[in-house]
A and B are shown apart, each in its own frame.
Chain A
């Protein structure tokens, strides 16, 4: 075995800096997060799909001869519901649990950047939510025979929707004062955001106070962008929604970076 390094050697070993070091850190941290997903992917897919799928089925049974536009609204809303279930609810609970188990001490004791750690967690959130997104889109297309409008804007909307909603979940997880409170909070928030904001319904159908409140949630913009991009492709409205979602994503990364308890002064 190599003898213990002296301080200079140790610094040199860890001083590999610049993009190479950032990439190494990110890829290793991502692989650690991926291992967690690899471990439970069946449950991830099942959980992420069951909620929105049952809601989709229920809503399609409920409406008498739903039009294609209505079905797109239902499916787009449920795509976002899947993201809320896994990104906001699932990630919030999971990260909170890790936090209170003291898992972050391991990461903070390594010479890695906090931002890379945050990004790796966000990437895991994206991995958790993407399967349900794809499955529901497939069900919509083949199960209900709906012709989605596939445009170059769709991946942009998908990525920004996932990033902004997952960001909220990750934020809650890192903020979590205790695990029980976090569990209750994310579940209450999930129900509120899904059913009392314009995810499933049109904003005009909501009472005015809820309309105002819904402008605070990224899901409002995500659902709107998703509907419009699936119905008609990229438009100015979709672009504006995307700008808001991008702002949400950037702000949540910034907030998470401040919430993560890391080394002093970092």
Chain B
């Protein structure tokens, strides 16, 4: 069984004598070597939880343990072992790219030569070697973010916490970042990934913690969470323009149909009848459907399902 790196035990963060609740009674564990996704909308309480985990914020209730000891008693040790990427890429804006990486490595305790070598390797991996002498402030927003990711990677710490690492990145760089994270994870690093980009997170995370309104709504492996939601397959259909109603009338017989735009339909179908529906779409020439895609439940569906359920429970109460 994997070691527990973080144990978050009934943690709450209350302000103004409990009137404002940044997070409420959160309990979860982070296991060594996993990639844990922390998902939730803006203002859900994700950043508060992260600040408690890195020892920048003392919980008003409960305890966060790092390798079995309260974080509050060992914040420097946490800083030695946890690399944290915040959403602030402009801190080192006056530095040159190589300086930003090397200085961060050296402040983490690396020897000069070691930091320089690793900075060079990282720049190579990110395809940014030619930018090494450029100041960060002269880079694009996306390039600065990439260097920000580099500052988390340098020093190869055993735990990485990344807060929205792919914001502002183009698709190619987003993929590169996910690959870097996966690679570092394969080398043994534990990764805690905070994001509201559910679709992208699905590519890398092992387990997911869903947070909203400061509460932990669910935590489990992605596959297990998916089992909890609607198991019907989702057909995404693009109809010929102006013939949506015609297509909808023809497809309604197969399952639950949603209209999802001027020429888009979503059809939820039981797994057993999926092959028949596919056959029907492919072999019925009069059907005004131009494109179709079949998708199993995604992490996004899981997220909306759990979040919606919590909202309903809250309003019912």
Contact = CB atoms under 8 A, between A and B. Distances in A.
A and B physically associate? yes
Interface of A: 1-7, 10-11, 13-16, 21, 24-25, 28-29, 31-32, 35-36, 38-39, 101-103, 105-112, 261, 263-266
A45 B135 CA distance: 22
A68 B167 CA distance: 63
Contact of A264 (B58, B90, B188): B58
Nearest to B77: A11
A13 B86 contact: no
B158 A106 contact: no
Nearest to A15: B109
Q: Which of A4, A10, A106 has the most CB of B within 10 A?
A: A4
Given A110-B107, A111-B109, A265-B72, A3 B88 contact: no
Nearest to B191: A4
B91 A103 contact: yes
B156 interface: yes
Contact of A101 (B82, B88, B92, B109): B88
Q: Which of B91, B106, B109 has the most CB of A within 10 A?
A: B109
Contacts of B275: none
Contact of A263 (B55, B87, B91, B189): B55
B186 to A, nearest CB: 9
A13 B108 contact: yes
B309 interface: no
B86 A105 contact: yes
Contacts of A14: 80, 108-109
B278 interface: no
Contacts of A108: 56, 79
Given A5-B157, A264-B57, A106 B79 contact: no
A25 B104 CA distance: 10
Contact of B156 (A1, A29, A105): A1
Interface string B271-284: 00000000000000
B221 interface: no
B27 to A, nearest CB: 20
B260 interface: no
Contacts of B56: 105, 108-109, 261, 263-264
Given A6-B188, A35-B94, A38-B94, A11 B106 contact: no
Interface string B34-69: 000000000000000000001111100000000100
Given A106-B86, A109-B79, A32 B67 contact: no
A111 B106 contact: no
B103 interface: yes
A24 B87 CA distance: 27
Interface string B82-110: 11101110111011000100011011111
Contacts of B83: 109
A112 B107 CA distance: 7
Nearest to B86: A105
B188 A10 contact: no
18 contacts: A2-B118, A2-B156, A7-B67, A7-B158, A10-B81, A11-B77, A32-B95, A35-B95, A103-B91, A109-B79, A110-B104, A111-B79, A111-B107, A111-B108, A112-B107, A261-B56, A265-B72, A266-B75
Give the 9 A-B CB pairs with smallest separation, nearest first.
A14-B109, A4-B189, A263-B75, A3-B187, A14-B80, A109-B84, A111-B79, A35-B94, A106-B91
A39 to B, nearest CB: 4
Nearest to A104: B91
B252 interface: no
A24 B112 CA distance: 10
Contact of B55 (A28, A101, A264): A264
B157 A106 contact: no
A169 to B, nearest CB: 19
A106 B95 CA distance: 14
Contact of A3 (B58, B82, B122, B156): B156
B99 to A, nearest CB: 7
Given A5-B158, A10-B80, A110 B108 contact: yes
B244 interface: no
B86 A109 contact: yes
B103 A28 contact: yes
B68 to A, nearest CB: 11
A109 B54 contact: yes
Q: Which of A15, A29, A111 has the most CB of B within 10 A?
A: A111
